[in-house]
A and B are shown apart, each in its own frame.
Chain A
Amino acid sequence: MNSTATDKVTLERGKYQGKSIPRKEDRRLLEGQGSFVDDVRRHAMGYVHFVRSPYAHARIVSIDVGPALELDDVYGTLTGDEVAIATDPFFQIASPPGANVKDYALAVGKVRYAGESVVAVVAATRELARDAADLVEVDYDPLPVLVDARKALDSETTVLHDDAGGNLSWEGVYEWGNLDEAFAEADHVVKIDELHFDRFNSTPLECDGALVEYHRGTEQWTIHTNNQFPGFAAIMMGPALRVGIDKLRYVTQDIGGGFGNKITTHPQLVALCLLSRKLKRPVQWTEWRTDFHQSMSHGNERWFHGVEVAVKADGTLLGFRCKALDDAGAFLRYEPLGGVIWAQVTPGLYRWKHVRVEFTQVMTNKAPVSPNRGYSRMQHLWLTERIIDIVASQLEIDPIEMRKLNYIKTDEMPYTTPNGCVYDSGDYERCLDIALDLVGADTIDARREEAAARGKLLGLGIGSTLDSGTNNFAQARLLNPELQFSGNNEVAMVKLDIFGEVVVTLGTTPQGQGHETTASQVVADTIGCTPDMVTVRPGHDSYWNSHAGFSGTYASQFAVTGLSAVKGAAEDLADQMRRLAAAVLGTTPDGIVLAEGMATRADDPEAALPFMALGAIINANNAGLPPETEDITLNARYVYRPPFDIPDMETKYGNLTLTYATQIHACVVEVDPETGEVEIVDYAAVDDCGTRINPQIVEGQVHGATAHAIGAALWETFKYDEDGQLMTANFYDYHVPHALDMPPIKTGSIESPSPFTPLGTKGMGEGGGGGIHCVGSAIQSALAGAGGALVTDSHNPSERVWSMLRDPQASRSLVHVDPAS
């Protein structure tokens, strides 16, 4: 099923890096001995259940927790009024008007989406907490509901946040190059009235959760949780709770999937902090699936209006302009960062130089959005891919040829994009060829005929996408110049201990990406031992002091930030080990070889010290050591900081991300013209993430990202009715692909190492939504001979495809070519 075409390895890596060694994490997970947040227990802990609003928009008239408190073994409650007194509103990333949104741990005065937490109830058992929550009486005064982002800024539309004066979160204009010149030079202008990127998310199998303890003596909280970005949670929670972040200890271990959806749990964590302090006992919360769907981390829904593309007759793309309308839901938690993060991939994979995007983000009565696998880049890359396919269809140019014509070429790398981002390396054309070969594109015409004989419409689609990784947080300033954020960092510590234990701690919060394993591979090669001899402590703990401001696992960066920190710490440790061994064995540090757990004199293999000896000397037997060993601790802490500058605020020009992995997907679909059912009959994903430390782990990420994207393309959607009720609030209605749904997936890979990273690695894992792009592309191809409907939505379930077959004009009328070709 899998085939790999790997480029010649250009970096000298050592014995273990580059190998698919088995994972350290697996034993405990296979035995059911993982430690997920609901597995953590504390004596006398209370179970939390949230009372949630059934209304999408309403004033809270009154809350009566009395009936709940009358039950035995109900420990207490928390309401918005208490929260408004005990905490300050969460810091807002936006400048005004978004800055004026008041966001608290529980609803204060109003509810703004169905499922918003209004009251927290704590009781002795899970079941009792629900009983008690059912008894809480909340009186609401309903208000009009806004679910269509396109109406959010109309004057008569209901306003969610009076403090913000309207539903606008943020707006700005991005423009680079010379649009007038581009459109003057164009042979054709292709106009697309409206495109829509749908709302969904990655529904990690484990929901959010936490167990919070308050230590009265030190006024400190210990937060056992599965939040995947403790750095962000801390800067949100500290000021809200009016404490320094040293009062917040975050502990994570095993996390059942994150995909970005576990970044914005700080409101619930603050509620738990307040409860644990108020009730003088630990409190535990495990989110219900329905609550997660209704209230957490939807992906950004985005409309693109008035797309205009300047193109030459031969298909050379000169530029485009459009209006982007982003629906952030009811609160801005990580937003409006989505309003700038897309700019990491402004031109997509293409060479056009002139781009203008008028970006507007609004708030609606839906669940607040947060990062979701592919966050904000995926939406923009879908736009560029739709542009390619639609323009190609209008000008009757082969979409494959059009891509090859316009792709940035490998010899142009590193390539500076119109807005100053630097694509480090890659070979898009080669990846495309591999993908097309894997799906048998050369025989597509014959296959189309064969399918037609069976009454099916066959299509071939391509989705080219980039996974930009390692953010420069200065991009936040493009949204709000007052923000004091920039750069990035990650920390690792490696020590050699008294009995020879090599122990690594990280600042990251892995959710299945195999950090323990890949870190051990890097350490093993650097200090000269086996990965089995390296212990990597699982998860994150603030007490290890092994983290920095941006620590966490998000935004496709571990292979760069995490592993570079590990490499830095391991090299520091190796250096110290050589120096100590040299002092003991009577030679110079260059004369020491570290290999197979031993420090040996290069000129005398009999003169050797096992690692254990070095650890023992420094820790327990260090009298009389020569002065040059004074600073040796065998306990190295390294902070990796990627090289970034502050972008120019005026022109919005500068490097926003360090690395760019490529994924090119191709697929073949068969569409049933009677029902609109789409079957994927062939699928290939080709990945280029630079140096791969563990190829099997990389491939696993490609599989997972593909499954997420196929799900979003065909089945998964967060659909709201006009009353703001979520119709897909659980797995019964929100269809996630299962084993029979998945087509056979072929993978291929090449390695174009990054010139900018210590290991040549690039972050990957999000996958940029490649499957969404290529499944839509294939559907459009299949329908080309049956009415020629155009794909204008990222979500194409059978009902939509059926409509496209019955009324192709509906989508075709959204596209105009001027002058007609």
Chain B
Amino acid sequence: MNVSGTRKFSSDPQSVWDVLNDPTELATFLPGVDTFEIQDERNWTATVKIPLGLGGLKLKFRFEKIEERPNERAALKANGKGVGAVISVETSFDLAPDGDGTSMDWAADVQVLGQIGGMGQRVLQPIVNQQVEQVLAALDERVQARAAG
């Protein structure tokens, strides 16, 4: 399923980029991250717990940064595997100055396979929306905190 939107930040593109581009920062606001390990500049892994089913769905994610234009665009691929589920996400962020702040166009293509995928859009869509909202809110907070020093 595809989700996309635009989010405005009060900070400038550089500040937003600093957070987006830093894996350790990402770890703090990606939803349900249990552990986090950086392989190199472009590759890292994480174990994640998504609120689905009793006790949550535990997944092992591999992240790869596939595109990078400083202060302008970042694109990521993520592949997560767990019991009865495989989740692939391709996501991109485009930044542009918006007055003193930043306007960010974001998009994510989420593919869910396995028994969970069989449940279809009606169950997954609200969960995806919720997760996205959490990420953006946390990103916003992080950007502001970092800009404040």
Contact = CB atoms under 8 A, between A and B. Distances in A.
B120 A727 contact: yes
B113 A54 contact: yes
Interface string A732-750: 0100000000000000000
B83 A725 contact: no
Contacts of A726: 118
Given A54-B84, A54-B86, A723 B111 contact: yes
Interface string A132-157: 00100000101000000000000000
B70 interface: no
A320 interface: no
B86 A134 contact: no
Nearest to B116: A54
Contacts of B86: 54-55, 140
Nearest to A727: B120
Q: How many of chain A's residues touch chain B, expressed as a range?
A: 10 to 19
Interface residues of B, number: 13
A236 interface: no
B117 A290 contact: no
B134 interface: no
B90 to A, nearest CB: 12
Contacts, number: 38
Contact of A114 (B88, B111, B113, B120): B113
B27 interface: no
A236 B60 CA distance: 40
Nearest to B79: A142
A294 B115 CA distance: 10
Contacts of B118: 290, 294, 725-727, 729-730, 733
Contacts of A725: 112-114, 117-118
Contacts of B83: 134
A128 B21 CA distance: 43
A134 B114 CA distance: 13
Contacts of B120: 721, 727, 733
B85 interface: yes
Interface string A713-735: 00000000101011101100100
Interface string A281-294: 00000000010001
Contacts of A56: 113
A32 B135 CA distance: 55
A721 B119 CA distance: 11
B114 A54 contact: yes
Nearest to B84: A54
A360 B120 CA distance: 32
Contact of B113 (A134, A723, A729, A733): A723
Contacts of B114: 54, 114, 725
B117 A723 contact: yes
Contact of B115 (A55, A140, A721, A729): A729
Contacts of A730: 118
Q: Which of B85, B111, B114, B115 has the most A CB atoms < 10 Å from its CB?
A: B115
Interface string B72-86: 000000000001111
A86 to B, nearest CB: 28
Main secondary structure of the interface of A (DSSP, over half): loop
A730 B120 CA distance: 13
A529 to B, nearest CB: 55
Interface in A282-319: 290, 294
Given A723-B117, A725-B118, A726-B118, A54 B85 contact: yes
Contacts of A142: 88
Contacts of A723: 111, 113, 117
Contacts of B84: 54, 134
A287 to B, nearest CB: 15
A418 B117 CA distance: 48
Contacts of A134: 83-84
B22 to A, nearest CB: 29
B85 to A, nearest CB: 7
Contacts of A733: 118, 120
Interface string B100-113: 00000000000111
A721 B113 CA distance: 10
A730 B111 CA distance: 21
A56 B111 CA distance: 12
Interface in B14-49: none
A142 B77 CA distance: 14
Interface string A357-387: 0000000000000000000000000000000
Contacts of B85: 54
Interface in A23-54: 54
Contacts of A729: 115, 118
Interface in B108-149: 111-115, 117-118, 120
A134 B84 CA distance: 8
A234 B85 CA distance: 36
A726 B113 CA distance: 10
Interface string B60-98: 000000000000000000000001111010000000000
A727 B113 CA distance: 11
A114 B116 CA distance: 12
Contacts of A290: 115, 118
B82 to A, nearest CB: 9
Interface in A657-709: none
Contacts of A294: 118
Contacts of A140: 86
B50 to A, nearest CB: 15
Interface in A259-291: 290
Interface string A51-65: 000111000000000
A723 B88 CA distance: 12
A55 B120 CA distance: 15
A114 B114 CA distance: 7
B97 to A, nearest CB: 38
Nearest to A133: B83
A140 B88 CA distance: 12
A49 to B, nearest CB: 12
Nearest to A134: B83
A438 B96 CA distance: 73
Contacts of B112: 725
Contacts of A727: 118, 120
B102 to A, nearest CB: 34
A787 B115 CA distance: 40
A438 to B, nearest CB: 40
B83 to A, nearest CB: 5
14 contacts: A54-B113, A54-B115, A55-B113, A56-B113, A134-B83, A140-B86, A294-B118, A723-B111, A723-B113, A725-B114, A725-B117, A727-B120, A730-B118, A733-B118
Given A54-B117, A725-B112, A725-B117, 8 more contacts: A55-B86, A294-B118, A723-B113, A725-B114, A725-B118, A727-B120, A733-B118, A733-B120
Interface of A: 54-56, 114, 134, 140, 142, 290, 294, 721, 723, 725-727, 729-730, 733
Ordered nearest first, which 6 A-B pairs have the shortest CB separation?
A: A54-B114, A54-B113, A725-B117, A729-B118, A54-B86, A134-B83
